[in-house]
Chain A
Amino acid sequence: MHFVCCIKQVPDTAEVKIDPDTNTLVRAGVESIANPYDVVALEQALRLKEQYGGRVSVISMGPPQAEASLREALSLGADKVILLSDRLFAGADTLATSYTLSCAINKLSHEHPVDVVLCGKQAIDGDTAQTGPGVATRLGYTQFTYVVAVDWINTEEKQIQVRRKVEKGSEVIRGPLPALLTVELELAKPRRASLPAIVHALREPIGAWDGSAIGASPKELGLKGSPTWVRSISSPPAKIGGPTFDAGEDLAEAVAKTLDVLFSDKSFAIKLAKRWEA
Chain B
Amino acid sequence: MAKNTKGIEVAEIISDKCIACQICIGECPVAAIQLTAEGVARIDPELCIGCGKCSESCPVDAVLFEKKKKRRLRKEERGIPPEAIPGYEGVAVFIEISENVGAQVSWELAGKARELAEALNSKVMGFLLGSGVEAIAQDAVAYGCDEVHVIDDPQLEHYLPVVYGKALADLSETLRPEVLLIGATHLGRDLAGVVATHLRTGLTADCTGLAIEQETRLLLMTRPTFGGNIMATIFCEHKRPQMSTVRPRVMRPPEKDEERKGVIRHHEWTPPMVELPILVELIRDSADAEGIDIARSPALVVAGRGACDPSTFHLLEELAHLVGGAIACSRPVVESGFMPYERQVGQTGKTVAPKLYIGVGVSGAIQHLVAIQGAEKIVAINSDPKAPIFKVADVGIVGNYLKVVPELIAQLKKRVG
Partner-B contacts on A (CB < 8 A): 11, 13-14, 16-19, 22, 24-27, 30, 32, 63-65, 87-95, 98, 124-134, 136-138, 140, 142-146, 161, 165-176, 219, 222-248, 251-252, 254-256, 258-259, 261-263, 265, 268, 271-273, 275-276
CB distance from A238 to the nearest CB of B (A): 8
Could you tell me if A127 and B204 are in contact, using CB atoms closer than 8 angstroms?
Answer: no
Contact A134 B197 (CB under 8 A): yes
- For A95, A219, A224, A227, the residue with the greatest tally of chain B CB atoms inside 10 Å of its CB is A227
Q: Known pairs A127-B224, A169-B285. 10 more at Cβ < 8 A? A: A91-B23, A168-B99, A229-B236, A229-B237, A233-B59, A244-B398, A245-B397, A246-B397, A254-B397, A258-B397
Residues B229 and A17 in contact, CB atoms below 8 Å apart? yes
Given contacts A16-B229, A247-B400, whether A24 and B196 have CB atoms under 8 Å apart is no
Contact between chains at B392 and A239 (CB < 8 Å): yes
B2 within 8 A of A: no
Complex A-B: 11 CB contacts under 8 Å: A16-B227, A24-B16, A87-B25, A87-B28, A98-B193, A125-B227, A161-B280, A166-B282, A171-B280, A230-B21, A241-B396
Residues from chain B with a CB closer than 8 A to the CB of A234 are: 230-231, 233
Q: Complex: how many Å from CA A82 to CA B378? A: 49
Q: B-side interface residues toward A, CB under 8 Å? A: 14-23, 25-28, 31, 34-40, 57, 59-60, 78-79, 98-99, 161-162, 165, 185-187, 189-194, 196-198, 200-206, 220, 224-239, 274-285, 288, 298-299, 323-324, 355-356, 366, 369-370, 376-377, 379-380, 385, 390-400, 403-404, 407-408, 411-412, 415-417
Residues of A with C-beta under 8 A to B377: 262, 265, 268
Given contacts A91-B23, A138-B197, contact A276 B324 (CB under 8 A): yes
The answer for the CA separation of A232 and B298 in the assembled complex, in Å, is 35
Q: A91-B21, A127-B205 are in contact. Are A223 and B79 (CB under 8 A)?
A: yes
A268 to B275, CA, bound (A): 54
Report yes or no: B277 in contact with A174, Cβ–Cβ below 8 A.
yes
Interchain CB contact under 8 A, B385 and A259: no
A171 and B279: CB pair below 8 A? yes
Could you tell me the distance in whole angstroms from the C-beta of A66 to the nearest C-beta in chain B?
A: 9
In the complex, which of the residues A18, A30, A94, A240 contacts B38, with contact meaning CB atoms closer than 8 Å? A30
CB of B411, distance to nearest CB on chain A (Å): 5
CA distance A262 to B412 in the complex (A): 11
Q: Which residues of A contact B416 (CB under 8 A)?
A: 272-273
Q: With A65-B35, A170-B283 known to touch, is A255 a contact of B393 (CB < 8 Å)?
A: no
Give bound CA distance, A245 to B404, whole Å: 11
- Provide the main secondary structure of the chain B interface: mixed
Contact of B397 among A17, A98, A244 (CB under 8 A): A244
Q: Is the CB of A94 within 8 A of B229?
A: no
A98 to B198, CA, bound (A): 12
Asked if B227 and A247 sit within 8 Å, CB to CB, the answer is no
Alpha-carbon distance A64/B57, docked complex (angstroms): 22
Report Cα–Cα, A14/B403, bound state, in Å.
33
**A233 contacts B236, C-beta separation under 8 Å:** no
Complex CA–CA separation, A63 to B26 (angstroms): 11
Query: Is B190 a contact of A242 with CB atoms below 8 Å?
Result: no
Complex Cα–Cα for A274 and B14 (A)? 56
Known contacts A90-B22, A230-B19, A233-B233: A247-B278 contact under CB 8 Å? no
Q: Measured between alpha carbons, how far is A123 from B52 in the docked complex, in Å?
A: 31
CA distance A64 to B34 in the complex (A): 9
Q: How far is the CA of A255 from the CA of B230 in the complex (A)?
A: 35
Give the complex CA separation of A245 and B78 in angstroms: 56
User: B residues within 8 A CB of A98?
Assistant: 193, 197
Contact in complex: B229, A258 (CB < 8 Å): no
Chain B residues lying within 8 Å of A128, measured Cβ to Cβ, are 203, 205-206
Do A13 and B226 touch across chains, with their CB atoms under 8 A apart?
Answer: yes
With the chains together, A94 CA to B355 CA distance in Å?
36
The 7 nearest A-B residue pairs measured at CB: A247-B399, A175-B277, A133-B193, A224-B79, A227-B202, A275-B324, A128-B205
Residues from chain B with a CB closer than 8 A to the CB of A175 are: 275-278
Query: Which of A22, A65, A127, A226 has the most B CB atoms < 10 Å from its CB?
Result: A127
- Known contacts A88-B26, A137-B165, A229-B235, A13 near B19 by CB under 8 Å: no
CB neighbours (8 Å) of B284 from chain A are: 168-169
A228 touches B234 (CB 8 A): yes
Q: Which residue of A lies closest to B169 (CB)?
A: A137
CB distance from A149 to the nearest CB of B (A): 11
Q: How close is B25's CB to chain A, nearest CB, in angstroms?
A: 4
Is there contact, CB below 8 Å, between B190 and A245? no
Decide yes or no: A95 and B203 within 8 Å by CB, A25-B19, A255-B407, A272-B356 being known contacts: yes
- State A136–B394 Cα separation when bound (angstroms): 45
